[in-house]
Chain A
Amino acid sequence: MLSSKASCNSHGQDSSYFLGWQLYENNPFHEVENPTGIIQMGLAENQLSFDLVESWLRKNPDVMELKKGGESVFRELALFQDYHGLPTFKNELVEYMAKIRGNKVKFDPNNLVLAAGATSANETLIFCLADPGEAILLPTPYYPGFDRDLKWRTGVVIVPVHCWSSNGFRITMFALEEAYERAQKLNLKVKGVLITNPSNPLGTTMTKEELDHLITFAMAKNIHVISDEVFSGTVFDSPGFISILEAAMDRNLENTDVWSRIHIVYSLSKDLGLPGFRVGMIYSNNKTVVGASTKMSSFGLVSSQTQYLLTNVLASKRFTSKYMKENQKRLKKRKEMLVSGLKKSGIECLKSNAGLFCWVDMRHLLSSNTLEAETKLWNQMVCDVGLNISPGSSFHCSEPGWFRVCFANMSRGTLQVAMRRIKDFVERSNFMGRSKMNYQQNMSSLSRKLLSNWVRKLSSPDPNEHER
């Protein structure tokens, strides 16, 4: 009756990543109204610097009112649906992107294609680069949304590149080759490798070495490299951020084949904290890709109203400089608060310098080194401790026991509550012995139902899944 896309679960929403959100929605924490509710630590949002944007808006009411020089531009904006986007907007975007990269890379606005969020940008890029049934390599752990964005409607297959804690989850040449071989054995034609830099969920920026491996690998195998750099504006500590294009330029690859096989995805959802506005983009030096993706952007253009607002925000150079600096400062401080808070509970985090989250090592809290134990611990964290943190398995991490914990989407007060809860939990479990915890004690019946449904689904794997 419906399409197979509608009837399967390749939309990826049966993942614990999304279930955690659901459980949170049923019982959301509020400092006053629901102090025992679940704290949302599974959402990588940046809420730390809104006051800066709001202050700019108050000083520039014309822009929100869709006025220019006192005159309304409402009509022009309402009619503007050109898929090339507002030229002034793209000019500002490329300047902003260059600024984030310390002006070491210059971008041409004609090579920038707007999309409805990075979600749309990633899907569009895959539609342009790979045919159904072909494969994209993806280093693990990776953002769960990729299972939907890259695979669902495109019919493309994801082949994971396994990374391990033993070397800080760095991407090695060996891992890339191994994944490629695995794809070959499955008769899958690999069209590209997609990296997220800075990494979600690791919160680390890629080293020069890793980037060089990727580029060398892409050259040798004649494949594309997609670099999802949506978190590039959230780098708050050294080492600094190196964009894939910068790494390629350092090797003087501008006039070689691989230059036209390197593509960047960016969005304003993470550093500027504007996920609701749906501003994503693809940057590519490949004219055919730019051409095709521009036409495809018809399916998800950025509202002209939003393009206009953000053109003006980004045009204010003083504002963007101030914002970038202050935002980074606040992210660093907040991250340190999370890290030290966890440390007091005997929990370590992967050393990170970017992102809106930490990659937390809870392996020592597992009853056994298994996926089941991780799931059990996760249940406890969400339903007993009341923290929606995201289990590593939802990021396809090859080792159980790691969790992504977000810190930038809540107030200091809420984070303090979260830290206290973890401390209590750890102390309790040390005292009582983990196996004796009845984690279902505090679960509402709805949460219990949702969880058991999910666990049941998990035990009957999707035959289309290639990666495990």
Chain B
Amino acid sequence: MVAISKIATGNGHGEDSPYFDGWKAYETNPFHPIDRPDGVIQMGLAENQLCFNFIKKWVMEHPEASLCSAEGVNKFKETALFQDYHGMPEFREAVAKFMGKVRSGRVKFDPDRIVMSGGATGAHEMVAFCLADPGEAFLVPTPYYPGFDRDLRWRTGVELVPVVCESSNNFKITRAALEAAYEKAKEANLRVKGLLITNPSNPLGTILDRDTLKGIVKFINEKNIHLIGDEIYAATVFMEPEFVSISEIIEEVECNRDLIHIVYSLSKDMGFPGFRVGIVYSYNDAVVSCARKMSSFGLVSSQTQHLIATMLSDDDFVDSFIVESKEQLFKRHKYFTLSLSQVGIGSLKSNAGLFIWMDLRKLLKEKTFDAEMDLWRVIINEVKLNVSPGSSFHCDEPGWFRVCFANMDDNTMEVALLRITTFMHKHNEAMVPRKLCRRASLKLSLSRRRDDFMSQNMMSPHSPIPQSPLVRART
């Protein structure tokens, strides 16, 4: 058998991590309020499902967005033929406007700097291809999204060097940490080409404050390295303090703009991961030009561009959506964290994202990652919740878990909380009085089962996991 490539046979795809046991457990026994009430609840999936009714209403009221009105069908041909990698002008304008609105109008984005990509996944890989050669490196603050190990490294040959952040100062990105990482790269003979930050942070759910951002911009300018700001959770900031984007900071401090690039997507803010709308926004003309050519490998379907262009051009809808989404996230987050605190579970104070960074350090038998794995297996197999262990995010300290709260309905959230409470009551020596605010009636909001919609048999012979975990989980 002749060999295929090293990339294909290696494990750079990142799916061999023991982390996926959680997914397997969920896939083989997914929770359903009626059909499978004892199934595993998926809390490892950072999806935003809280505003679908709001969006669906708009879609039903605007058939022209789906090209199915009488006039719409006439646009079909033009749309079906449109494969220009510049993207539809109306799509770029609508996205640029949306990005500006999400930043409360404090910055304006130039539609001509918007480059499409196959989701944020495609965007990250594309940026890595544009900025670094094989063997060169990016610095990434920990904890970070596990998908970066694949997106930035797999086919690009680029290395990632962690910038270690610690719980002692709430995982702040300090100058010292940045310098230490930079030195470490140097010692390993790795040429650092850039720093990638995720703001708001996945998995922390926090935003970077102005001073930290300014410090970061100063750092990258001094070292003359690129700054990639992954801002895909920008519209999920549901509480003060307000989100500050890199795009704002560079207006306030001196900065070589050729070093600044933003990755964006509609998968989190709008809850559209299936539509594969990824964006690279660069202040560097050469990068825009190169990325645009590369975007041929992952253009957004013109059918989807049309839908998004129509939707995001509707100012009333967008303005209402942004407010509604924040409200829903705020409510869910508050309820969830309050309920957890009442059984003695703390989490990092957060104001953004679709998850919390839960602190279970005191439940560890010992301060080791093995103990974290043991606890995690208990949570999956006994408590029947798929949460994500901190080690999979390269967290420096064991005992932290990312728990998603926006990908389920109220009823499922109740069940999850009940299970957590029961578990804590069993394992806490000091019992916390039950002060859970139970909902008066359990609303049986049956979310449409995926099974109704798709066939069950999605087992692929080569993969132990029926549904691609990494794709579904911005873990």
On whether the two chains bind one another, the answer is yes
- The residues of A with any CB-CB pair to B shorter than 8 Å are 1-7, 11, 13, 45, 47, 50, 53-54, 57-58, 61, 63-66, 68, 72-84, 86-88, 110, 116-117, 119-120, 123, 127-132, 148-149, 152-153, 191, 222-224, 257, 260-261, 269, 273-278, 286-296, 298-306, 309
Evaluate contact between B463 and A75: CB separation under 8 angstroms. Answer: no
Compute how far the CA of A304 lies from the CA of B274 in the bound complex, rounded to whole angstroms: 5
- 27 A-B contacts, Cβ less than 8 Å apart? A2-B286, A6-B287, A11-B293, A50-B76, A66-B59, A72-B59, A75-B52, A78-B272, A78-B273, A79-B273, A88-B455, A110-B460, A116-B299, A117-B299, A120-B298, A148-B296, A224-B4, A288-B8, A292-B9, A295-B468, A300-B276, A301-B471, A303-B303, A303-B304, A305-B275, A306-B303, A306-B304
Q: Which residues of A sit under 8 angstroms from B461, Cβ to Cβ?
A: 110, 287
Compute how far the CA of A93 lies from the CA of B43 in the bound complex, rounded to whole angstroms: 34
Q: Which residues of B sit under 8 angstroms from A129, Cβ to Cβ?
A: 4-5, 8
Residues 94-152 of B at the A interface (beta carbon under 8 Å): 118-119, 121-122, 125, 129-134, 136, 150-151
Evaluate contact between B1 and A277: CB separation under 8 angstroms. Answer: no
Compute how far the CA of A422 lies from the CA of B67 in the bound complex, rounded to whole angstroms: 39
The minimal Cβ–Cβ distance linking A466 to chain B, given in whole angstroms, is: 19
Give the top 3 A-B pairs by smallest Cβ distance, nearest first: A276-B302, A64-B68, A304-B274
Q: Which residues of B sit under 8 angstroms from A123, Cβ to Cβ?
A: 297
Evaluate contact between B73 and A11: CB separation under 8 angstroms. Answer: no
| Interface residues on chain B, size class | 35 or more
Evaluate contact between A78 and B76: CB separation under 8 angstroms. Answer: no
- Name the CB-closest residue of A to B258: A1
Compute how far the CA of A80 lies from the CA of B300 in the bound complex, rounded to whole angstroms: 15
Q: Which residues of B sit under 8 angstroms from A288, Cβ to Cβ?
A: 4, 8-9, 462
Compute how far the CA of A289 lies from the CA of B62 in the bound complex, rounded to whole angstroms: 42
Q: Which residues of A sit under 8 angstroms from B70, Cβ to Cβ?
A: 58
Q: Does B221 reach chain A (CB closer than 8 Å)?
A: no
Q: State whether A79 and B130 are in contact (beta carbons under 8 Å apart), knowing that A288-B9, A303-B304 are contacts in the complex.
A: no
Q: Does B6 reach chain A (CB closer than 8 Å)?
A: yes
Compute how far the CA of A129 lies from the CA of B294 in the bound complex, rounded to whole angstroms: 20
Evaluate contact between A77 and B274: CB separation under 8 angstroms. Answer: yes
Evaluate contact between B5 and A273: CB separation under 8 angstroms. Answer: no
B56-73 interface code vs A (CB 8 A; 1 in, 0 out): 100110010011101011
Q: Which residues of A sit under 8 angstroms from B155, Cβ to Cβ?
A: 127, 153, 296, 299
The minimal Cβ–Cβ distance linking B222 to chain A, given in whole angstroms, is: 15
Evaluate contact between B297 and A5: CB separation under 8 angstroms. Answer: no
Q: Does B385 reach chain A (CB closer than 8 Å)?
A: no
Evaluate contact between A79 and B455: CB separation under 8 angstroms. Answer: no
Q: Which residues of A sit under 8 angstroms from B267, Cβ to Cβ?
A: 81
Tell me if A's interface is mostly helix, strand, loop or mixed. Answer: helix
Compute how far the CA of A298 lies from the CA of B79 in the bound complex, rounded to whole angstroms: 24
The minimal Cβ–Cβ distance linking A356 to chain B, given in whole angstroms, is: 13
Q: Which residues of A sit under 8 angstroms from B130, Cβ to Cβ?
A: 2-3, 5-6
Q: Does B470 reach chain A (CB closer than 8 Å)?
A: yes
Evaluate contact between B77 and A54: CB separation under 8 angstroms. Answer: yes
Evaluate contact between B301 and A303: CB separation under 8 angstroms. Answer: yes
Q: Which residues of B sit under 8 angstroms from A117, Cβ to Cβ?
A: 83, 296, 299
Q: Does B441 reach chain A (CB closer than 8 Å)?
A: no
Q: Does B49 reach chain A (CB closer than 8 Å)?
A: yes
- Name the CB-closest residue of B to A63: B68
Segment of B29-37, B354-362, B365-373, B446-454 engaged in the interface with chain A: B446-454
Q: Which residues of B sit under 8 angstroms from A286, Cβ to Cβ?
A: 4
Evaluate contact between A72 and B60: CB separation under 8 angstroms. Answer: yes
Contact of A87 among B284, B301, B455 (CB under 8 A): B455
Q: State whether A261 and B455 are in contact (beta carbons under 8 Å apart), knowing that A82-B472, A129-B8 are contacts in the complex.
A: no
Evaluate contact between B290 and A223: CB separation under 8 angstroms. Answer: no
Q: Which residues of B sit under 8 angstroms from A2, Cβ to Cβ?
A: 130-131, 284, 286-287, 290
Q: Does B467 reach chain A (CB closer than 8 Å)?
A: yes
Evaluate contact between B59 and A83: CB separation under 8 angstroms. Answer: no
The minimal Cβ–Cβ distance linking B461 to chain A, given in whole angstroms, is: 6
The minimal Cβ–Cβ distance linking B33 to chain A, given in whole angstroms, is: 17
Q: Does B307 reach chain A (CB closer than 8 Å)?
A: yes
Q: State whether A128 and B5 are in contact (beta carbons under 8 Å apart), knowing that A274-B80, A299-B122, A300-B297 are contacts in the complex.
A: yes
Q: Which residues of A sit under 8 angstroms from B134, Cβ to Cβ?
A: 132
The minimal Cβ–Cβ distance linking A293 to chain B, given in whole angstroms, is: 8
Evaluate contact between B118 and A300: CB separation under 8 angstroms. Answer: yes
Q: State whether A289 and B4 are in contact (beta carbons under 8 Å apart), knowing that A5-B129, A54-B77, A88-B454 are contacts in the complex.
A: yes
Evaluate contact between A309 and B274: CB separation under 8 angstroms. Answer: no
Evaluate contact between B7 and A299: CB separation under 8 angstroms. Answer: no
Q: Does B13 reach chain A (CB closer than 8 Å)?
A: yes
- Name the CB-closest residue of A to B270: A78
Q: Does B335 reach chain A (CB closer than 8 Å)?
A: no
The minimal Cβ–Cβ distance linking A91 to chain B, given in whole angstroms, is: 8
The minimal Cβ–Cβ distance linking B219 to chain A, given in whole angstroms, is: 17
Q: Which residues of B sit under 8 angstroms from A276, Cβ to Cβ?
A: 79-83, 301-303
Q: Does B415 reach chain A (CB closer than 8 Å)?
A: no
Contact of A79 among B49, B119, B293 (CB under 8 A): B49
The minimal Cβ–Cβ distance linking A316 to chain B, given in whole angstroms, is: 16
Contact of A82 among B52, B132, B271, B468 (CB under 8 A): B468
Q: Does B457 reach chain A (CB closer than 8 Å)?
A: yes
Compute how far the CA of A269 lies from the CA of B129 in the bound complex, rounded to whole angstroms: 26
Compute how far the CA of A304 lies from the CA of B275 in the bound complex, rounded to whole angstroms: 6
Q: Does B440 reach chain A (CB closer than 8 Å)?
A: no
Evaluate contact between B8 and A301: CB separation under 8 angstroms. Answer: no
Q: Does B188 reach chain A (CB closer than 8 Å)?
A: no
Evaluate contact between B274 and A299: CB separation under 8 angstroms. Answer: no
Q: Which residues of A sit under 8 angstroms from B68, Cβ to Cβ?
A: 57, 61, 63-65
Q: Does B231 reach chain A (CB closer than 8 Å)?
A: no
Q: Does B410 reach chain A (CB closer than 8 Å)?
A: no
Compute how far the CA of A51 lies from the CA of B369 in the bound complex, rounded to whole angstroms: 62
Residues 268-286 of B at the A interface (beta carbon under 8 Å): 271-276, 284, 286
- Name the CB-closest residue of B to A296: B155
- Given A50-B76, A127-B8, A275-B81, 9 extra CB contacts under 8 A: A5-B290, A78-B55, A80-B454, A223-B2, A276-B83, A291-B463, A300-B276, A300-B297, A305-B307
The minimal Cβ–Cβ distance linking A46 to chain B, given in whole angstroms, is: 9
Compute how far the CA of A11 lies from the CA of B67 in the bound complex, rounded to whole angstroms: 34
Q: Which residues of A sit under 8 angstroms from B472, Cβ to Cβ?
A: 81-82
Evaluate contact between B131 and A120: CB separation under 8 angstroms. Answer: no
